[in-house]
Amino acid sequence: MRIRVSTAIELASELFRALGAPPATATRVATSLVLADQRDTPTHGLALLPLYAELIDEGLIDPASTPEATSLGGAITRVDGRRAFGQLTAALAVEHCLRALPEHGIAAAGIVDGTHLGRLGEWAELACERDAIFLAFTNTGGGARNVAGPGSASRVLSTNPIAVGVPACGAMDHHVIIDFAASQTSGSRIREVANAGGRLDPDWLVRDDGKATDDPEDFLAGVAALRPLGGRSAGHKGFGLMVAGELLAALAGNLMAGERRESGFTNGALFCLLDLNRFGERETWAQRVGAFRDYLAANDCRLPGAGKAADAGETLELPDHVAGGIAALADRLGVDRRGLEAGAPGAGVTRTW
């Protein structure tokens, strides 16, 4: 069904307030989720509302908490998320890095206990708007282990997403944003497929008996693991990216897999920002990016990051299972549904990362 963007933000904000978030926090997180839907990343959009509610109920997110930043000297900062919404923590990390760039040209923030940091591409965009190159490595604090090693069927690491943002400096209407899990797909994507009643690419999962499967329920039930990026033939490459994310994201103090078994989920991350203008004239870079864009277009390729424009329209199209999940949550919390219909088949499958 279609819903006005303004209505979606109002509804999500009211739901977050009902879950215990202060008004400013509720609006900030709601706006972030809606932006993910506008950017055509529904796995990190309003579909996360029921899952965030579960994490709050389980004490894994404290909706009233705020993150705290501590200088580690020079242009390096540690940000303790303190179980706050990850959108607050990630934004604070980028903000501190941007403050350091004029003096140092390069800055880094280590994030510990970030809960769920949301769409990493949002933080890459935030940096790119200030002519800063962005790089992020993440882990899940020793929890949410759902990816097997190459040639294995045992869950050993999380999907450990990596993100890169490169400013386009006006060469096109979007920056170059790369944001992906180091596994064949993400747990969020599998939840979405399960909610919609669909099937998976059989090279995405491996069952504990070593066989491939296209059933998302096998993953949700814990009898199948994600394969590393590259699948059966080149999974060692994705596994290498996961290892890099696990180690680098642990620098600020977040747990690594193997240090202690954690059943919960909390993002650790390393954000690195680099001042683009230290390398040359902004206008020259814009020309080079434009030429690269044209070269790729001539070969039927495009630069990543376009998605949908943030101003793509005044309404969003919500799949039935997403609308149904949000409506069911609204009913539970006593919040006006704003016209959403409850009871969509499969809505609310939020059993795992």
Stretch 335-353: mean pLDDT: 66
Which residues are bridge partners to 275 per DSSP? Answer: 132
In the chain, % of residues over pLDDT 90: 86
- At residue 312 the predicted structure's pLDDT band, cuts being 50, 70 and 90, is low
- At residue 351 the predicted structure's pLDDT band, cuts being 50, 70 and 90, is very low
- At residue 239 the predicted structure's pLDDT band, cuts being 50, 70 and 90, is very high
Indicate the pTM of the whole model.
0.94
For residue range 251-309, what is the model confidence (pLDDT) as tens digits?
A: 999 999 999 877 778 999 999 999 999 999 999 999 999 999 999 999 999 999 876 54
For residue range 142-191, what is the model confidence (pLDDT) as tens digits?
A: 888 999 999 999 999 999 999 999 999 999 999 999 999 999 999 889 98
Q: Which residue has the higher pLDDT, 344 or 80?
A: 80
Stretch 69-92: mean pLDDT: 98
Mean pLDDT of the chain, nearest integer: 93
For residue range 25-55, what is the model confidence (pLDDT) as tens digits?
A: 999 999 999 999 999 999 999 999 999 999 9
In the prediction, which pLDDT does 212 show? 97
In the prediction, which pLDDT does 345 show? 47
In the prediction, which pLDDT does 206 show? 98
Stretch 307-313: mean pLDDT: 58
For residue range 205-232, what is the model confidence (pLDDT) as tens digits?
A: 999 999 999 999 999 999 999 999 999 9
- At residue 310 the predicted structure's pLDDT band, cuts being 50, 70 and 90, is very low
Count of Cβ atoms closer than 10 Å to residue 260 Cβ: 10
Tell me the C-alpha distance between 216 and 233, whole Å.
21
In the prediction, which pLDDT does 175 show? 97
Tell me the C-alpha distance between 110 and 122, whole Å.
17
Q: State the virtual CA torsion across 346, 348, 351, 353 in degrees, nearest 10.
A: 100
Question: Would you state the structure tokens that stand for residue 221, as one six-digit string?
Answer: 């039930």
Asked if residues 271 and 95 have their Cβ atoms less than 8 Å apart, the reply is no
Residue 240 has pLDDT above 80, yes or no: yes
Among 10-14, 59-63, 174-178, 189-193, the minimum mean pLDDT is found in 189-193
Listed in sequence order, the residues at least 6 apart from 254 whose beta carbon sits closer than 8 Å to its beta carbon are 110, 111, 112, 113, 114, 139, 141, 266, 267, 268, 269
Stretch 62-88: mean pLDDT: 98
- Domain covering 60-306, topology: Ribosomal Protein S8; Chain: A, domain 1 (3.30.1370)
- At residue 117 the predicted structure's pLDDT band, cuts being 50, 70 and 90, is very high
3-state secondary structure of 199: coil
What b/e sequence results for 213-226 when a residue is b if at least 16 CB atoms lie within 10 Å of its CB, and e otherwise? bebbebbbeeebbb
In the prediction, which pLDDT does 334 show? 97
Stretch 313-342: mean pLDDT: 91
In degrees and rounded to multiples of 5, residue 12 shows phi and psi of -60, -40
Residue 1 has pLDDT above 90, yes or no: no
Residue 347 has pLDDT above 50, yes or no: no
In the prediction, which pLDDT does 17 show? 98
In the prediction, which pLDDT does 343 show? 62
